[in-house]
Amino acid sequence: MLQTEQGSGCAKWLGDGIGAIIDSMFPDKDNRAGIGYGYFSDNDTWAIKGGNLPDGTSVDTPYAITINANGGLFRPHDAITNTDNWYDVGGKSYRGGAGSAQAAILLHELAHVMSAADAGASGFLPDFGNQDAHDSNSDLLGEQCRDVINAF
């Protein structure tokens, strides 16, 4: 089980059960993975909690988190829109593909998992299709996890 540092702001905010939740995302049977990877029909969404994709389709395996292969987790530039990918966390932007952006994106989705399980990430809101909720979550993630994000 993952050991989280006691008193660490980000780990404390995510919740005491984070180790068990992460363990449950990587079952050692059935070859299931907790984090899925695929191509979304648009590149505006870089990762989601669960497997229900933005276009209304869903992935076959019930992933805890699904990552867009063409999104900012891996790519500093969007070839379709010809724009650079930046991930905003509470007013500070991180370049797509950089370790700090990857940490922020995955912590954001992990906060959704913890919140949905009512196991932590207090104040984190469902934000699918809701920019105001996404911005609120971005501010909260920055407050709680900036040191962790900046360490990457």
- Interacting residues toward Zn ion by CB under 5 A: 127
Q: How many CB atoms lie within 10 A of CB 82?
A: 7
- Closer to Zn ion by CB, 27 or 64: give it: 64
- Closer to Zn ion by CB, 27 or 128: give it: 128
d(CA 73, CA 130): 20
Q: How many CB atoms lie within 10 A of CB 118?
A: 10
Closest approach of Zn ion to the CB of residue 20, in Å: 22
Place of tokens 């991180």: 94
Closest approach of Zn ion to the CB of residue 71, in Å: 13
Q: What angle do CA 60, 62, 66 make, to 5 degrees?
A: 90
Closest approach of Zn ion to the CB of residue 128, in Å: 7
- Closer to Zn ion by CB, 26 or 128: give it: 128
- Closer to Zn ion by CB, 88 or 127: give it: 127
Numbers of helices and strands, H then E, in the chain:
4, 7
Q: Closest residue to Zn ion, Cβ-based?
A: 127
Closest approach of Zn ion to the CB of residue 11, in Å: 19
